[in-house]
């Protein structure tokens, strides 16, 4: 389920792309499956259709979906991600920033720890 925070500093299109990417990784949408139309998703979320289109373009650029004019967005088959250019420091830095943001918003350390442990278990079992 996609959620948009209009008060967030993160642009809405980026929130959409992040949410859809998470659903794609989790297998909510299967290869070959069509995503909701730009207009339908925009109406469901209460955002402008260009915002959804921008998120779809970003996911297309990343190789997640195939965009066809008048046919919509279709989930692409993806092989294993390449790790050639992945820097583990990047992930650690991003995770620290996310945790700091969550703490500054008032989430407790125990709630964060519990959620991270839960996500780690899901990840180990093949989910997200």
Question: CA 49, CA 27: separation in Å to the nearest integer?
Answer: 25
What is the pTM for the complete model shown? Answer: 0.68
12-75 fold: Arc Repressor Mutant, subunit A (1.10.10)
What is the 3-state composition of the chain as percent helix, strand, coil, each rounded to the nearest 5? 55, 5, 40
pLDDT band at 69 (very low <50, low <70, confident <90, very high): confident
Cβ–Cβ < 8 Å for 65, 73: yes
**What is the average pLDDT value for the chain, to the nearest integer?**
88
Q: Find how far residue 1's CA is from the centre of its chain.
A: 11
Q: What does the domain layout of the chain look like in residue ranges?
A: 12-75, 88-124
Q: Encode pLDDT of 100-112 as tens digits.
A: 888 998 999 999 9
């Amino acid at each position: 389920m996609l959620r948009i925070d209009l008060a967030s500093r993160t642009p809405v299109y980026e929130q959409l792309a992040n949410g859809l990417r998470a659903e794609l990784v989790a297998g909510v949408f299967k290869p070959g499956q069509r995503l909701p139309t730009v207009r339908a998703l925009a109406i469901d979320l209460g955002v402008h259709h260009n915002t959804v289109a921008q998120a779809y373009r970003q996911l297309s650029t990343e190789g997640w979906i195939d965009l066809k004019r008048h046919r919509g967005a279709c989930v692409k088959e993806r092989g294993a991600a390449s790790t050639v250019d992945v820097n583990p420091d990047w992930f650690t830095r991003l995770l620290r920033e996310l945790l700091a943001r969550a703490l500054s918003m008032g989430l407790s350390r125990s709630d964060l720890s519990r959620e991270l442990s839960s996500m780690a278990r899901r990840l180990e079992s093949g989910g997200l």
